[in-house]
Structure 1
Amino acid sequence: MVLKRLDRLWFSPPAAAVRGATAGAADLLAPSWCVGCRSPGTDLCPDCRDDLRLLTQHPYRAEGPAEALPILEDLSVLPVLSAAEYTTLVADAVLTFKDHQRVGLTRVLASALERAVRSAATLCSSEQVLLVWPPSPPRSQLRRGRHPLGELIQQLRLPAQVMPAGHWVRHRITVTDVVRPGRGQKSRSKRARRQTQNRFSLVPGADQVLRGAEVMLVDDVLTTGATLGRLYQCLCQAGAHVSAAAVLAATAR
């Protein structure tokens, strides 16, 4: 009941009007500036856009430093393809897009994630692969009023054999997920991130779709791999075969 009331309040027309007015006032007080070189009037200037494309041009295997990633049946770690390391311009662009409403960065970041997804798809062997991503945590959804990862995935031009299937997974929400204050992943210690209980569950009917299906996971930033690990566990319990993952950026060792 509490969650429903909060949901109705947040997405009501008056609340949307307040958020819009606040964003407009923020633009007047702090006009848009390039996240790379701080040039005024743009989210990403042409030079920094070219730099970002170069930094994300060649996806690489990033599972090594992520100690919480799942171990597969052959005792190897779940392979993860990352578009870039989470440093310098890439980190600034991802953080600004997620937490500061810079939706003008959507296309260039989606293109980077798309390259990682296409590279990860080469590790899959089925004629049809389901692409699954973690739903937005309740606190993040309330704080941002949007799902940044979902916005990127909507822009992806997926390989022919890859089908989006993120709607089959949801959070198991409790009241404390919404009303208890929390910190983001990157502000926590490694131990705290490993112990994070990302409580995923499947929507009714998902078992029938996922049983025996090959699945590729996708997320925005790879840190310890705890989120991908929990998602992997949830899907495998439904009988899915998770063979690879793709991320926009990964933290270094």
Structure 2
Amino acid sequence: MIAARAAAVTVAAWHDLVGLVVPVACGGCGRPDVAWCPRCAEALTGPVVRRDHGAGRLDLLEGRTLLPVWAPAAYAGPVRHAVSAWKDAGRADLDRPFGAAVRRVGDVVAGHLVHGSSGPVLVVPVPSTGRARRRRGRAPVDVLAAAVVAGLRDAGVPAARARVLRRTGGPDLAGLTARARSAALVGRVRVRRGAAVRGRDVLLVDDVLTTGATLVACHRALVAAGARVRGAAALAATAPPAGAVTDGFVRPDQRVVRTSGEEG
């Protein structure tokens, strides 16, 4: 008992010392002495819903989209600030709350996913450029993909993370228009090992859904390699048009759009 208490005191003192040397602030609002404050954490606890109808590049007209995309949060306020800090300011301490949020996505999607292949569902992170990986020292979306795998497994769906996509060069997509994003990705997303995805069910994972251009490029490459892309998971998404909230997870050839006022 005494030894355990002494160890706890030592750990607390160490955290205090680290806090003096490297001040900690909430990734969402900047509140001092906490990495992710309770108020900002609430932004990631909302229902996991489809958000693909807010992404113009996924729009196939007449209420149809290329693929369903699920996320628990809107890309705004504290979430937007925190994602930026997580990706580009070395805030790996946000891995845990972000991972917990997208783990719920895996659990929810599992209830709607018609698994049609013999092997596990392949959870494929959207690739970043080599330059971005070197600058950040890692690929943050891989953390989210691992969490989605855990969520699917929680719900009894066999799943495995598969880093089968690579992106070659091109500019940073931040700040580009939807058309410019699409142009920048033409021919730059490829499947590393085509045989690894042929005939397999795939769930893509991205950090933020904005225009959908990156998911379109990934979808195109995977389908060309023989994969069945069932949908995508994201941490957050830009706000959809008013009245376009949907709640169904369906195959690309079975789009069903339900507005916020419908039941079913």
Distance 1:122 1:105 in 2: 27
**Alignment CA distance shift 1:53-1:70 (3 Å):** closer
Distance 1:158 1:249 in 2: 17
Aligned residue number for residue 200 of structure 1: 189
Distance 1:165 1:53 in 2: 23
Identical-pair percentage: 34
Tell me if structure 2 keeps the 8 A contact 1:220–1:249. yes
Aligned residue number for residue 52 of structure 1: 43
Aligned residue number for residue 219 of structure 1: 206
Tell me if structure 2 keeps the 8 A contact 1:81–1:117. no
1:61-96 CA-partner distances (Å, limit 9, x unpaired): 11112121275xxx6531111111100111111111
Aligned-residue CA RMSD in angstroms? 2.6
Distance 2:136 2:31 in 1: 25
Tell me if structure 2 keeps the 8 A contact 1:135–1:166. no
Distance 1:148 1:226 in 2: 19
Secondary structure of the 1:117 match is helix
Tell me if structure 2 keeps the 8 A contact 1:123–1:244. no
**Larger mean Cα displacement after TM superposition, 90-99 or 111-120:** 111-120
Query: Highest Rg: 1 or 2?
Result: 2
Aligned residue number for residue 10 of structure 2: none
Deviation at 1:33, TM superposition (A): 1.2
- Counterpart amino acid of residue 189 in structure 1: T
**Alignment CA distance shift 1:188-1:214 (3 Å):** same
Distance 2:177 2:130 in 1: 21
Q: TM-score, normalised by structure 1?
A: 0.74
Aligned residue number for residue 137 of structure 1: 129
Distance 2:87 2:202 in 1: 25
Distance 2:174 2:75 in 1: 11
**Alignment CA distance shift 1:109-1:202 (3 Å):** same
Aligned residue number for residue 222 of structure 2: 235
- Counterpart amino acid of residue 93 in structure 1: A
Distance 2:181 2:84 in 1: 18
Deviation at 1:164, TM superposition (A): 2.6
Give the count of matched residue pairs: 213
Distance 2:23 2:86 in 1: 15
Distance 1:137 1:58 in 2: 31
Distance 1:190 1:230 in 2: 12
1:93 corresponds to 2:86: no
**Alignment CA distance shift 1:37-1:220 (3 Å):** closer
Q: TM-score, normalised by structure 2?
A: 0.71
Distance 1:109 1:121 in 2: 19
Tell me if structure 1 keeps the 8 A contact 2:52–2:65. no
**Alignment CA distance shift 1:76-1:136 (3 Å):** closer
For structure 1, the residue ranges without an aligned partner over 5 or more in a row are 1-26
1:34 corresponds to 2:26: yes
Tell me if structure 1 keeps the 8 A contact 2:166–2:189. yes
